[in-house]
Chain A
Amino acid sequence: MSIDMKQFYAVFFEEVSEHLANMESLLLAINIESPSLDDLNAVFRAAHSIKGGAGIFAFDDMTEVTHILETLLDKLRKQETILTSEMIDAFLQAGDLLAELKEAHQEGGEVDPDKVKTLCKSLESLSAERAVSPESAENNSAAETVCREITFLTEEKEDISTLLRELAEFAELSCSCDIQDGYKKWCLTLAEASVSDDELIDCITFFAEPGSIVITGLEVKEEKKQEEDAFGLFAEENTHALIENDSFGIFDELPVNSNNDSDDLPAQPSLLLPKAAESAEQETQSYGFFSDEDKHIEKKPVPAGRLKSAVKSSRNGSESSSSIRVNTEKVDQLINQVGELVITQAMLTQISALLDPSEHEILLNRLTQLERNTRDLQESVMSIRMMPISFVFARFPRVVRDLSSKLHKKINLKMIGDETELDKGLVEKLADPLTHLIRNSIDHGIEMPEIRLAQGKEEIGTITLFAFYQGGNVVINVSDDGAGLNREKITAKAAERGLNISDSMTDNEVYQLIFSAGFSTAEKVTDVSGRGVGMDVVKRNIVEMGGQVEIHSDLGLGSTISIRLPLTLAILDGMSISVGDHIYIIPLTFICESLQPQTENIKTINGKGTVVKVRGEYIPLLALHQLFNIETQVHQPSDGILVLLESSNKKIALLVDQLVGQQQVVLKSLETNFHAVPCISGATIMGDGRVALILDAAGLISSME
């Protein structure tokens, strides 16, 4: 029997990518001086999951790398060795290597085996040299054999003689008992015993009141160790859950609580929460929809705080655990169908308008209800495609870290509003332009630390990514507190390149020059930037998405580049216009204004066509009916309407018969079943079921040249 392994491979590869991404973000967030055990555990889990999967599919190279990675991580979380920045580097490298290996298995390529060996060696050596001396390691793990005081409550009539006998088998036992409010408070002292806390708790749980068990090491020094040990146990259980893939099976094992302050002791149900949270988190990881940012909240391993953060993440976890992985094709199909429904509904409304309202009152009421329901449905369906922008943002800490260390700059990356949602298609297309902008900020924006200090700025530069909603748009700002754009430098460079410049240009116009192809003010070409490809590509990509790019800059204080995008690719705000009996849609983002021209403002330039004077500016005029060979009554610009379009700093005036109205339209590609058409960017379906074509403003403008 042959099973189609391909589908399993696909799932595995997808999961590996998610685990790696998760691992990377955790590693970058880790505080080297006091790494949080939660984070280390999460990294360990990610590595472990990859190892498990790789083992199943017999990807031995991946198993090998993850195994060594795991060994070192395991030492770290058991605190047998101390985290160093070299380790983080090595972990990141290992992550990259794993991604490469994954790619190789996926695409059928090959990775240099030496590379694997080198990395394994460096990880092994790190794990060997950093090992704490055996003696102290012994000391740490010796927490299991110290003298312990156990206190717990039982009901008054409870007979614990069996328990005492059992405990006495472990080690020498002394016992005292108080009666409080109908409960017996037992205080047992257990001499050095080679029994772990959770074994003890297992025994006692049968008798004790829930949540009342407290185990304390007798000496202060020992206490600390025990606390640490307890964390080790938590970790142990987590791994356990992962391997068994049955996180609920561990609920009957009570967690160890080595808090000495019994007043502070959380009730038992909340004790269970960390585990629930962990298991929920594991699910989260496999869906990969939410990053478990809550983990970063508590950096210091303080038990109470830990519980708090765990409770929080359990809430997060239970939300995310209800998400499912769906093929985008299915979602798009759903969106299409709902779009159809909306059109059908619009047609019904149109027909119903002909009916006598008094005779068909009920029908008309129901139709209104239908309209409302369809709109709600459309909105919900569109929201399925929405993704938080954190999916793109997540890669930037790494970019900043790698680049800044390469350029010997000190840079701090701040990300605000990464929960802002926008269309999946847009999120994916944003990655490249944003990476470019950030690289630019690092290379050109932020100065070297010495220069910053000399200028009275903080040594560490800051790059801020800020995403927020504004109207129907999403705005993403990439700002840095670096040098800012230098007007003189730009104009000088532009003049050198023969671009059209004048002293009367506004700052904004000057800044726009950096978007022209091949433009760079970098003194020397580095492998980071300076080649002058980039900003024009950024601009083009954003415009293709129906967005705009703006620049604000203060010399010496920094610059901000704002990207303004529509919320979704699938819907666009358009102005419908008519020419003859044809209807066309113009995307609103390209329209500056529309006007009815006076005859005296229309000038014909010999051999160069017609221009229109608008507030002193001469704008070339394009008659749509001529371009598209459409019969219409409107031939003179003064009889129709001029729509001023602007793209890439160029303007044209488009002559149309009239404006029909402004509306949101669902964008459809002509290329699915046909091919690209000059000056048309797509099509949409109007309320009456007919197709209307969407004009490509950029294409129209370039058709004038």
Chain B
Amino acid sequence: MQETKSEADTGHNFISEMTGTEESGYLTFTLGDEEYGIDILTVQEIRGYDSVTSIANMPEFIKGVINLRGIIVPIVDMRIKFNLGDVTYHEMTVVIILNIADRVVGMVVDGVSDVISLSREQIKEAPEFGAVVDTKYIKGLGVVDQRMLILIDIENLMSSKEMALVEQLA
């Protein structure tokens, strides 16, 4: 495991914000060989990949929209976005439905592992390199029983320009 003293802004701020031994829950999922964690409070539900209506002339990783109980929800495939894993769709393909800033978004991942709690001590600052996800969207690294989780700042990532999910001001 690599630990640096870098002032990776988000990671640093994030850690200093956490107080005491308070624990936060994370949903972990895999993309290729890496294991990621996102704040459990942003997760609305997990469902299978089913009947996505594609939208013309969109980036490849935007798979289209689905009907989630009457709500039109866009679906992004993180495997395509980050060039990880084999992009096949079958019965076991998983979509994590996120609820971020009053918007609902679904993201396709390789698989969902479990929900874990991390205390402040278990979270290290993010390294500058080493993950396919840009460091500015990484909150830190979580360590649990020899496993290393890359904790993603999913809120920032999903509203970023590169995800093309939110209308950007020109």
| Binary contact readout A679-705 vs B (1 if CB under 8 angstroms, 0 otherwise) | 110010100111111000000000000
Q: Is the CB of A690 within 8 A of B67?
A: yes
Q: Is the CB of B71 within 8 A of A672?
A: yes
Q: Is the CB of B67 within 8 A of A693?
A: no
A582 at the interface (CB under 8 A from B): yes
Task: Decide yes or no: A685 and B103 within 8 Å by CB, A672-B72, A675-B167, A692-B53 being known contacts.
Answer: no
| Binary contact readout B81-124 vs A (1 if CB under 8 angstroms, 0 otherwise) | 00000000000000000000001110000000000000000000
Q: Is the CB of A685 within 8 A of B70?
A: yes
B165 nearest CB neighbor, chain A only: A674
Residues in A whose Cβ lies below 8 Å from that of B66 = 691
**Which residue among A627, A673, A678 has the maximum number of chain B CB atoms within 10 Å of its CB?**
A673
For the complex, what is the distance from the CA of A376 to the CA of B16, rounded to whole Å? 57
B57 at the interface (CB under 8 A from A): yes
List CB contacts (< 8 Å) of A598-656 with chain B.
Answer: 627-630
Among candidates A339, A668, A672, A693, residue contacting B55 with C-beta atoms closer than 8 Å: A693
| Binary contact readout A436-465 vs B (1 if CB under 8 angstroms, 0 otherwise) | 000000000000000000000000000000
For the complex, what is the distance from the CA of A671 to the CA of B166, rounded to whole Å? 9
A337 at the interface (CB under 8 A from B): yes
| Binary contact readout A36-69 vs B (1 if CB under 8 angstroms, 0 otherwise) | 0000000000000000000000000000000000
A11 at the interface (CB under 8 A from B): no
| Binary contact readout B43-78 vs A (1 if CB under 8 angstroms, 0 otherwise) | 000000001011111100000111101111110000
List CB contacts (< 8 Å) of A580-594 with chain B.
Answer: 582
Q: Whole-angstrom distance from the CB of B20 to the nearest CB of chain A?
A: 30
Q: Is the CB of A582 within 8 A of B103?
A: no
Q: Whole-angstrom distance from the CB of B38 to the nearest CB of chain A?
A: 18
Among candidates A627, A628, A672, A685, residue contacting B67 with C-beta atoms closer than 8 Å: A685
A670 at the interface (CB under 8 A from B): yes
Residues in A whose Cβ lies below 8 Å from that of B165 = 674-675
A379 at the interface (CB under 8 A from B): no
Q: Is the CB of A628 within 8 A of B53?
A: no
A529 at the interface (CB under 8 A from B): no
Q: Is the CB of B70 within 8 A of A677?
A: no
Q: Is the CB of B54 within 8 A of A582?
A: yes
Task: Decide yes or no: A678 and B57 within 8 Å by CB, A689-B51, A690-B51 being known contacts.
Answer: yes
Residues in A whose Cβ lies below 8 Å from that of B166 = 675
A336 at the interface (CB under 8 A from B): yes
**Which residue among A336, A339, A630, A685 has the maximum number of chain B CB atoms within 10 Å of its CB?**
A685
Among candidates A340, A582, A630, A674, residue contacting B74 with C-beta atoms closer than 8 Å: A674
A571 at the interface (CB under 8 A from B): no
A676 at the interface (CB under 8 A from B): yes
Q: Is the CB of B72 within 8 A of A669?
A: yes
Q: Is the CB of B56 within 8 A of A670?
A: no
For the complex, what is the distance from the CA of A672 to the CA of B53, rounded to whole Å? 16
Q: Is the CB of A628 within 8 A of B72?
A: no
For the complex, what is the distance from the CA of A582 to the CA of B57, rounded to whole Å? 14
Q: Whole-angstrom distance from the CB of A693 to the nearest CB of chain B?
A: 7
Residues in B whose Cβ lies below 8 Å from that of A693 = 53, 55, 65
| Binary contact readout B157-168 vs A (1 if CB under 8 angstroms, 0 otherwise) | 000000001110
Residues in A whose Cβ lies below 8 Å from that of B58 = 677
Residues in B whose Cβ lies below 8 Å from that of A680 = 55
For the complex, what is the distance from the CA of A676 to the CA of B55, rounded to whole Å? 11
Residues in A whose Cβ lies below 8 Å from that of B51 = 688-691
For the complex, what is the distance from the CA of A337 to the CA of B71, rounded to whole Å? 10
For the complex, what is the distance from the CA of A673 to the CA of B53, rounded to whole Å? 15
Q: Is the CB of A691 within 8 A of B167?
A: no
Among candidates A339, A627, A676, residue contacting B70 with C-beta atoms closer than 8 Å: A339
For the complex, what is the distance from the CA of A46 to the CA of B139, rounded to whole Å? 58
For the complex, what is the distance from the CA of A689 to the CA of B54, rounded to whole Å? 15
Q: Is the CB of A627 within 8 A of B56?
A: yes
B100 nearest CB neighbor, chain A only: A673
For the complex, what is the distance from the CA of A672 to the CA of B56, rounded to whole Å? 19
Q: Is the CB of A670 within 8 A of B70?
A: no
Residues in A whose Cβ lies below 8 Å from that of B57 = 628-629, 678
Residues in A whose Cβ lies below 8 Å from that of B53 = 582, 683, 690-693
Q: Whole-angstrom distance from the CB of A235 to the nearest CB of chain B?
A: 51
Q: Whole-angstrom distance from the CB of B159 to the nearest CB of chain A?
A: 11
For the complex, what is the distance from the CA of A337 to the CA of B70, rounded to whole Å? 7
Q: Is the CB of A672 within 8 A of B54?
A: no
For the complex, what is the distance from the CA of A674 to the CA of B69, rounded to whole Å? 16
**Which residue among A627, A690, A691 has the maximum number of chain B CB atoms within 10 Å of its CB?**
A691
Task: Decide yes or no: A691 and B72 within 8 Å by CB, A672-B103, A673-B104, A674-B165 being known contacts.
Answer: yes
**Which residue among B51, B70, B71, B105 has the maximum number of chain A CB atoms within 10 Å of its CB?**
B70
Residues in B whose Cβ lies below 8 Å from that of A343 = 67, 70
Task: Decide yes or no: A629 and B74 within 8 Å by CB, A675-B165, A685-B67 being known contacts.
Answer: no
For the complex, what is the distance from the CA of A680 to the CA of B54, rounded to whole Å? 12
**Which residue among B57, B64, B165 has the maximum number of chain A CB atoms within 10 Å of its CB?**
B57
Q: Is the CB of A628 within 8 A of B56?
A: yes
For the complex, what is the distance from the CA of A628 to the CA of B104, rounded to whole Å? 25
For the complex, what is the distance from the CA of A689 to the CA of B69, rounded to whole Å? 9
Task: Decide yes or no: A673 and B55 within 8 Å by CB, A683-B65, A691-B65, A691-B66 being known contacts.
Answer: no
List CB contacts (< 8 Å) of A405-456 with chain B.
Answer: none
Q: Whole-angstrom distance from the CB of A479 to the nearest CB of chain B?
A: 41
Q: Whole-angstrom distance from the CB of A581 to the nearest CB of chain B?
A: 10
A341 nearest CB neighbor, chain B only: B70
| Binary contact readout A326-337 vs B (1 if CB under 8 angstroms, 0 otherwise) | 000000000011
Q: Whole-angstrom distance from the CB of B63 to the nearest CB of chain A?
A: 12
Q: Is the CB of A673 within 8 A of B167?
A: no
Q: Is the CB of A340 within 8 A of B69?
A: yes
Residues in B whose Cβ lies below 8 Å from that of A339 = 70
Task: Decide yes or no: A629 and B70 within 8 Å by CB, A673-B104, A676-B167 being known contacts.
Answer: no
Task: Decide yes or no: A674 and B65 within 8 Å by CB, A628-B57, A683-B72, A690-B53 being known contacts.
Answer: yes
A337 nearest CB neighbor, chain B only: B70
4 smallest CB-CB distances across A and B, nearest first, come from A628-B56, A675-B167, A691-B53, A674-B74
Query: Apart from A674-B74, A693-B65, what are 9 other A-B pairs with CB-CB below 8 Å?
Result: A582-B54, A628-B56, A630-B56, A669-B72, A670-B65, A673-B105, A675-B166, A690-B67, A692-B53
B residues bordering A, Cβ < 8 Å?
Answer: 51, 53-58, 64-67, 69-74, 103-105, 165-167
- 9 A-B pairs with C-beta separation under 8 A: A336-B70, A336-B71, A337-B70, A628-B57, A669-B72, A674-B65, A674-B72, A690-B51, A690-B67
